[in-house]
Structure 1
């Protein structure tokens, strides 16, 4: 599968901030998905929306209605960083969950030029260093065969940055658009509506994690990404992810993301560092917001919803009630 890479450095770099995790994980993950997931039951919700209830708290932290204690409620919404126009508008239950909130929590404000530049510096090489020195001859040969005369533009980027850029590029050719990002939608809405906007960590933290991959890890991640392109599987794979999200298919999305986190050493490190290892701390922050009486709407990468250490599991372990709104 040939990839148009002519405008990688000028066009794609600014979009990588919107796809730090999904773009480098989803390609190889979906390549391992064998056949479509079983159709989920009909849902009126697009995307994974969860209601979180804080129970058994002191009355001082609980909103009261008609002299009856009403446990605080927060809403957790799973995001994908590269979407299509048909993801919008948000379904009515999601719109209502957002409308009632006074506080919007996101992982990072991706609508920041300075953040994009920070990512570029953390995931780039300075001459005379270059990509070719950090990947195997086989991986470099595959990239060169794919990109042709355009291959030199990749020399200044790390393997994970190239994997992200290629994933975003091909996704855009298939009609996906980083500007339709779920995170970006709610970031812009929160600013417009003057709602409190909280960043969990920021793009620079995420870039630090991606930049921490050693050569072997980066090489493995890029090799898997290139392999999925070469097999010509990306179109059907991305459409499967698209449909799973639109149908609120929690099991299907979890299967894809769990496979993503185990496909190579680079993906394992990213999944552990950006997802699993952070979920307990994020659950603590969500509970703290609710104890403070905040009406929170939390937008997290769908990867946080997958696995035994998922944010859903962590919230339940802390005694909160969590249920999917369908």
Structure 2
């Protein structure tokens, strides 16, 4: 595997681990790890593997190192209010019901059929979720469309370049310098619960620390990227000779998080810390809602700014990306054949979903 200039021996070892990992790991966990996890199972191998020397600076300085003061009191007040809002959303999601199987949607014209399947990027291996309808959608696809390419050599190089330039502080800043003493103590407690030493995360920018924590929790709880929906679809698609296409690059996908201000990234991190205390319960509820095809429940849990930490985080993780995808999807109607679009379930649920945006533009999308 080609090396990356400027990485030390430890970082090159980490790079090999990334190369050997499955192609995907995204989802949305308490859900702050929504689609951040796309390619982010790999991030866990970067804990303690920060680059020893980065020769190439990011093309544009991240606001995460701009040094603006964050209002810890404002954040503490927001975190006091959020649990009640989240509890109400979770209660409503539990009360909602689906059709008993993961939801499918279809957009079609005279010579093109586009099927949509919301995905969960890591699942428990024992979960059986494929229905005859889903199997037919996979088997009938001439082209399978995922969120981003994370498996090609070029994508791997760009992914590592992005992580090393946008995921770590390069000016000596340490993560805890952005937090209040109380927040640092909470972070240490969350890290202890998932078996990560805080020293390993000190060079991380807050968004990357949040993703690492989320992924580690999922893996510890028995969620497996090999059992994730994209992995299952990809194996079947390769076997049947289907083509692959992607809606965005990894830089586009993760760049929104990396481009958040200092304070917004810390909001994201502390929302993740808050979610660690819920353990597997919220994760299993999320999967239950997806497996039941409960689009309303998924919208309450995933397409919800309160569940992701703040409106800016929600915008860069969900709404902004959905808006970029819709024109690409409608352009696919010019391509004769059958297409399967498999993207994180949160992108297909709620008021800002791809499905809602398509319908608002006048397209008839069959399904819930």
Q: TM-score range by the shorter chain?
A: 0.7 to 0.9
Q: What corresponds to 1:123 in structure 2?
A: 167
CA–CA distance in 1 between the matches of 2:122 and 2:189? 27
Q: Report SS of the residue matched to 1:258.
A: coil
TM-score (norm: length of structure 1): 0.79
Please report how far the alpha carbon of residue 114 of structure 1 lies from its aligned counterpart in structure 2 after TM superposition.
2.8
1:57 corresponding residue in structure 2 = none
- Which of 281, 292, 310 is 2:353 aligned to? 310
1:25 aligns with 2:32: yes
Deviation at 1:274, TM superposition (A): 3.5
Do 1:103 and 1:198's aligned partners in 2 also have CA atoms closer than 8 Å? yes
Mapped partners of 1:88, 1:115: distance in 2: 34
User: How far is 1:224 from its partner?
Assistant: 1.8
| Distance in 1 (alpha carbons) for counterparts of 2:129 and 2:291 | 11
- The CA distance in 1 between the partners of 2:121 and 2:349, in whole Å, is 16
State the secondary structure of the residue aligned to 1:218. Answer: helix
* Cα deviation 1:172-207 (Å, max 9, x = unaligned): 222111232222333343334321211111212222
Bigger RCO of structures 1 and 2 (CA < 8 A, at least 6 apart): 1
TM-superposed CA distance for 1:313, in Å, is 1.4
| 1:25/1:267 contact within 8 Å kept | no
Q: Deviations over 1:45-83 (max 9, x none)?
A: 3x22112223xxxxxxx34xxxxxxxx321001112222
- Residue 320 of structure 1, CA deviation: 2.1
Could you tell me which of 126, 132, 152 is aligned with 1:92?
132
Asked if 1:144 is matched to 2:191, the reply is: no
Q: Where does the alignment leave 5 or more consecutive residues of structure 1 unmatched?
A: 1-8, 55-61, 64-71
SS at match of 1:205: helix
Aligned to 1:4: none
TM-score normalised by length of structure 2:
0.71
Structure 2 residue runs of 5 or longer lacking an equivalent are 1-12, 35-81
SS in 2 for 1:105: strand
- Establish whether residue 170 from structure 1 lines up as the match of residue 170 from structure 2: no
Query: Measured at CA, do residues 119 and 135 of structure 1 come closer, stay the same or move farther in structure 2, by a change above 3 Å?
Result: farther
Query: Per-residue deviation at 1:296?
Result: 0.8
Give the aligned CA root-mean-square deviation in angstroms.
3.0
Matched, 1:240 2:285: yes
Preserved contact between residue 108 and residue 201 of structure 1 (Cα < 8 Å): yes
Q: How big is the shift at 1:300?
A: 1.6
Q: Report how many residues are paired.
A: 295
Distance in 1 of aligned mates of 2:169 and 2:336:
46
Deviation of 1:214 after TM superposition, in Å, equals 1.3
CA contact (8 A) 2:148 2:249 kept: yes
The aligned residue for residue 364 of structure 2 is 321
- Cα pair 2:86 2:307 within 8 Å, conserved: no
The offset of 1:108, in angstroms, is 0.6
Which residue of the partner structure matches residue 40 of structure 1?
Answer: 97
Q: Does 1:223 find its partner at 2:270?
A: yes
